[in-house]
Amino acid sequence: MEENEEVNDGINENLDNSQDSLTKVTGMYKDWFLDYASYVILERAVPAIEDGFKPVQRRIMHALKELDDGRYNKVANVVGHTMQYHPHGDASIADAMVQLGQKDLLIDTQGNWGNILTGDGAAASRYIEARLSKFGLEVVFSPKITEWQQSYDGRRKEPVNLPVKFPLLLAQGAEGIAVGLSTKVLPHNFIELIDSSIKHLKGQRFTLFPDFPTAGIIDVTNYNEGLRGGKIRVRAKISQLDKNTLVISEIPYGTNTSTLIDSILKANDKGKIKIKKIEDNTAADVEILVHLPGGISPDKTIDALYAFTACESSISPLGCIIEDNKPLFIGVVEMLKRSTENTVELLKAELEIQLSELEEQWHFTSLERIFIEKRIYRDIEEEETWEGVIKAIDKGLQPHIAHLKRAVTEEDIVRLTEIRIKRISKFDLEKAQQFIEGLEEKIAQVKHHLEHLVEYAIDYFKSLKEKYGKGRERKSEIRIFDDIEATKVVIRNTKLYVNKEEGFVGTSLKRDEYVTDCSDIDDIICFTKDGKMMVTKVDAKTFIGKNIVHVAVFKKKDKRTIYNMIYKDGKGGPSYIKRFNVTSITRDKIYDLTNGKANSEMLYFSANPNGEAEVVTVLLRQAGSIKKLKWDIDFADVLIKGRASKGNVVTKYPVKRVELKEKGVSTLKPRKIWFDEVVRRLNVDGRGELLGEFRGDDLLLVVTQKGIAKTLTPDLSTHFDDDMILLEKWNPEKPLSAVYYEGEKERYYIKRFVIENEGKEELFISEHPKSVLELISSDWRPVVEVEFVKPRGKDAKPNQTIDLEDFIAVKGIKALGNVLTADKVKSVNALEPLPYEEPEVQEPEEMEVIDEEAVDSSDDRPISNSKSKGSKPEDEGQTLLF
């Protein structure tokens, strides 16, 4: 026991001693972590605003300048030279150098530097070579105005910041992840940056948007000048090669062809899209061919590629830079302003140094001229000491130096004593005077530049644009994207079944009744016999409620699908009729479409995708003294309201059944459809050019520059190619007039024709590869003016005006047409068409949908004074139909 107590006392004593020597972790963490975080932010991840470089990039550029002799250097050699300044390994330097080289701005590359389009990496650094580009040499370096500091080991000097006279950070972009901080500055267009710098110097406002080396299409609506919270959307450029092939010719920034193809294949495996195969023909330019199986819509597949693959992505910029050794969050406009003003200061510093050097050169050249011309060198022949020589020269110069701009120093006199006898003997006074005058002109010019510094900077930027701007035009096309609803473009990859009696709906009920094809992201709408409605997500098996009467895929904001319903209000209650649409719901919530009384039930129900209104027959049960047991009701007499409306009384007597007598036509107004040129899409929101009012069977006419005409249903998801030259509502009676150059016969032809086959693409010019469509007109009586080529040595033939209606009759679409002229044609221009009055079409009066939001849910008043044939008023004031 005593031994154990001694041991315990020793342990307790050691613990007390150790507690005295403990250091709190919070202090260590605070100091060490902040030091490390600061180092990563300032020395590794975030670029400086002064030159746009991260430290490793700055050291690479400095090493390239030190090695520069006009020839290419092995990248491995440059990496080794950079390691004298950079405290990290060769791999990080090599990777940073490859990224700089791939931006094709500061470094001339030779060898396999990888491919940003395909994602292929560069060859090993021992196999590839680099040198500074002419642009890099001109804008990045100026040793006389560079501030220098010790390298990390104190052996060499390196620049604190390079004197970059260009908004390089915005041109190249930058991305980095530090500790607790990140930055993402997107690349911008070279020419637009220069133009914006000039505008800033002129005091004008400007805007900046990204431009990516991978091209693609971008939506910059929410760019927010590259600040935190901004976002841009980027899309691949996808066009239709033929009816079964899509071609991707440009890819979004941040992707490559490999990752893009992988995302497409994954979407295909998941059933989101359906493709046959993919071919990657990418070389210097992107070309990915997406082959579609038969029966798949190319338009819908394009939307699906944007919705489910990497063909569309969003990028969130974050403008963070280093200024005065601190991170600073600013937008791209402010970055450009600071860079431009910094460039002006650098140009000023260079001019001041240049002026100082020129004045010093003028001073010494003037002294040299006096020294030789006045033969002052003879005054030192008798002098025996160095001090005597200096004094003799100084004394000899005094009568002749009044015009000099500064005092003569001893250093000046020492330089005069170093002039060789050979130079004195060959001295030419006239040449010396000309040289001095030349210096004076240069001094005056530099002073003028300093006095007009802004104009000088503008000229500097203009010279950069002239010398290096060729081939650097914008690559990314700026557009406004339309939002794509995934449910509208997903491939229906599964089948929906229903057990109406038991009340189950799902994709696994394969022994029950088939409803429709659907996708796993669809919502479905269900109605039951007791007047209930529910919208739920597609699943393997979902219980809705017994006695289901209707199931369909649900479309949000769908005002065209109208539900016609007659229901009994509780046990022994009256029957009501109503028409309604369902535009918005809460998923999995049960909605009661009746008045909510127990034992209410549907007597009749129909779903009509285009607002059709059928005629039904109501049959009453024999009870009491009712004389009329059967009559017809036309749903067209009922206004369309919200789902919560009570409806209008059909009868207060018991109904035996309701039968469909006659299918109806749409009672909805025709839709006005517009074409938005910006997004090249149809819309019903009033954006762009009004194409007309469209009923269910109306079609659009599309003509392309390739000489292809087709008609199609006005689907709001349709894509229109860039070569579309005519889009309008199709009138089957109105002819098209075309002027085209026939490649084989080498003549211009005129033809007039009507579209004969609905929904079919037809080529109306000849198939010869040199055939070109010159002009197409859908006017009833078009007129064109023909301008002829001027023959050598002769006057040009006067322009000819042609009335196409008189020139040729309407023929078949495959007809060759009539020769326009045998003379050489310079151009064919459309003139104002001749007047023509189209016959008026009498349109029946249509019924307008009343928005659900504007409907009083308790409204059960009569909504029309019209009555069905054979009906008579009841003693209830609310009764519309007997």
| pLDDT value of residue 880 | 33
* d(C-alpha 752, C-alpha 854), whole Å: 50
Contacts of 443 (CB under 8 A, 6+ apart): 355, 358, 359, 362
User: CA–CA separation, 637 vs 40, rounded Å?
Assistant: 75
- Residue pLDDT, tens place only, 331-352: 999 999 999 999 999 999 999 9
173-225 per-position pLDDT tens digit: 999 888 888 899 999 999 999 999 999 999 999 999 999 999 999 999 999 99
DSSP state of 280: E
DSSP 85-124: T-SS-HHHHHHHHHHHHHTTSSEEEES---BTTTTBPPPP
* Residue 79: φ, ψ to 5°: -60, -45
Residue 881 binned pLDDT confidence (cut-offs 50, 70, 90): very low
pLDDT value at residue 102? 93
CA distance 706 to 839: 32
Helix or strand or coil: residue 726? strand
The C-alpha atoms of residue 619 and residue 151 are separated, in whole angstroms, by 100
DSSP label of 879: B
Least confident of 360-364, 374-378, 498-502: 374-378
Which band of pLDDT confidence, cut at 50, 70 and 90, is reported for residue 695? Answer: confident
Average pLDDT of the residues of the chain: 86
Contact between 210 and 223 (Cβ < 8 Å):
yes
Residue that is written with structure tokens 């032809």 in the block: 749
Rounded Cα distance, 337 and 207, in Å: 11
User: CA 579, CA 559: separation in Å to the nearest integer?
Assistant: 12
Tokens matching residue 264: 């497409």
**Mean pLDDT over residues 633-661, rounded?**
91
Average pLDDT over residues 94-107: 94
300-305 mean pLDDT? 89
| pLDDT at site 458 | 96
| Dist CA 635 CA 269 (whole Å) | 46
User: Looking at the predicted structure, is the pLDDT value of residue 511 above 80?
Assistant: yes
Separation CA 720–CA 304 (nearest Å): 16
Burial letters for 420-448: b for 16+ Cβ neighbours within 10 Å, e otherwise?
eeeeeeeeeeeebeeebeebeebbeebee
Confidence check: pLDDT of 677 > 50 = yes
Distance from C-alpha of 591 to C-alpha of 584, rounded to nearest angstrom: 12
Of 786, 777, 788, which Cα lies nearest the Cα of 834? 777
703 - beta bridge partners? 709, 726
Length of the chain: 882
- Mean pLDDT over residues 230-239, rounded? 94
Contact criterion met (CB below 8 Å) for 709 and 702 = yes
Measured CA to CA, the distance from residue 597 to residue 619 in angstroms comes to 23
Residues 719-745: tens digit of each pLDDT: 888 889 999 999 988 999 999 999 998
On the question of pLDDT at 641 being above 60, the answer is yes
What's the pLDDT score for residue 242? 83
Residue 809: count of CB within 10 angstroms of its CB: 10
Let me know: does 516 contact 553? Beta carbons within 8 Å. Answer: yes
Tell me the helix, strand and coil percentages in the chain, rounded to 5.
30, 25, 45
Least confident of 92-96, 421-425, 479-483, 599-603: 421-425
Residue 82 predicted with pLDDT over 80: yes
Q: Residue 371 CA to chain centroid, in angstroms?
A: 70
- Tokens representing 208 are 């900046």
DSSP 771-812: -EEEEEE--SS-EEEEEEPPPTTSPPPPPEEEEHHHH--EE-
Give the mean pLDDT of 109-136: 94
Using alpha carbons, select from 549, 537, 547 the residue that is nearest to residue 496.
537
Side-chain half-sphere exposure of 868, counting CA atoms within 13 A:
20
Other CB atoms within a 10 A radius of the CB of residue 615 amount to 16
Check whether 771 has a pLDDT greater than 70: yes
Give the distance from CA 227 to its chain's centroid. 17
pLDDT of 291 strictly over 60: yes
CA angle 702, 787, 750 (to 5 degrees): 40
CA 198-201-470 angle, 5° bins: 15
Q: Which of 661, 565, 655 is nearest to 615 (CA)?
A: 661
Range of lowest pLDDT (84-93, 496-505, 689-698): 689-698
Which of 39, 127, 514, 836 does the annotation list as catalytic? Answer: 127
Name residue 591's amino acid: Y
Tokens of 81: 């030279």
Q: How many CB atoms are located within 10 Å of the residue 339 CB? A: 25
Mean pLDDT of 342-366: 92
Q: In what order do the strands lie in the sheet with 542-543?
A: 513-518, 494-499, 504-506, 542-543
**Distances from the Cα of 561 to the Cα of 70, 552, 585, 587, angstroms:** 73, 11, 15, 19
State yes or no: pLDDT of 76 exceeds 80: yes
pLDDT band at 28 (very low <50, low <70, confident <90, very high): low
**127 labelled catalytic:** yes
pLDDT at 21: 63
DSSP H or E stretch at residue 444: helix 429-451
Beta-bridge mates of residue 247: 239, 289
Percentage above 90 pLDDT, the chain:
52
Q: Which of 228, 229, 191 is nearest to 208 (CA)?
A: 191
Separation between Cα atoms, residue 441 and residue 557, nearest integer Å: 76
Tokens standing for residue 601: 């039930």
pLDDT at 859: 41
Tokens matching residue 294: 């038969």
What's the burial of 115, exposed, middle or buried (CB within 10 Å: 0-12/13-18/19+)? Answer: middle
Residue type, 69: D
Q: Which candidate, 796, 743, 795, places its Cα nearest to that of 769?
A: 743
Give residues with Cβ within 8 angstroms of 401, minimum separation 6. Answer: 367, 370, 408
* pLDDT of amino acid 128: 95
Closest C-alpha among 143, 133, 89, 92 to residue 110? 133
At residue 729, the pLDDT reads 92
The listed range with the strongest mean pLDDT (372-381, 388-397, 687-696, 747-756) is: 747-756
Say if residue 710's pLDDT is above 70: yes
Confidence grade of residue 873 (pLDDT, cut at 50, 70, 90): very low
The string of pLDDT tens digits covering residues 154-187 is 899 999 999 999 999 999 999 988 888 889 999 9
Rounded to the nearest angstrom, the gap between the alpha carbon of residue 179 and the centroid of all alpha carbons in its chain is 30
Please report, in angstroms and rounded to a whole number, the separation of the first and last CA atoms in the chain. 109
846: left (phi over 0), alpha (psi -120 to 50) or beta: beta
590 close to 532: Cβ distance less than 8 angstroms: yes
- Give the DSSP per-residue string, 629-640: -EEEEEGGGS-E
Distance CA 579, CA 640 (A): 5
Q: Which string of b and e fits 133-170 if b means at least 16 CB within 10 Å?
A: bebbebbbbbeeebeeeebeeeeeebbebbbbbbbbbb
**H/E segment holding residue 434:** helix 429-451
Residues 365 and 439: beta-carbon distance below 8 Å: yes
Answer yes or no: is pLDDT of 18 > 60. Answer: no
878, 647 in Cβ contact below 8 A? no
Closest by Cα among 668, 655, 641 to 861: 641
pLDDT in tens, 792-824: 878 888 889 999 888 999 998 989 999 988 888
* Dist. CA 783–CA 805, nearest whole Å: 8
Cα 439 from Cα 362, distance rounded (Å) = 6
Cα distance between residue 638 and residue 632, in whole Å: 13
Query: What confidence score (pLDDT) does residue 863 get?
Result: 34
* Whether this model's pTM surpasses 0.85: no
Over 90: is that where the pLDDT of 484 sits? no
Q: What mean pLDDT is predicted for residues 240-251?
A: 90
pLDDT at 557 over 90: no
Please give the pLDDT value at position 840: 62
> What pLDDT score does 22 carry?
66
Residue with tokens 């510093």: 349
Side-chain half-sphere of 240: how many Cα atoms within 13 Å?
Answer: 20
Q: Are strands 562-568 and 575-580 parallel, antiparallel or unpaired?
A: antiparallel
Predicted pLDDT at 861: 38
> Is the predicted pLDDT of residue 850 greater than 70, yes or no?
no
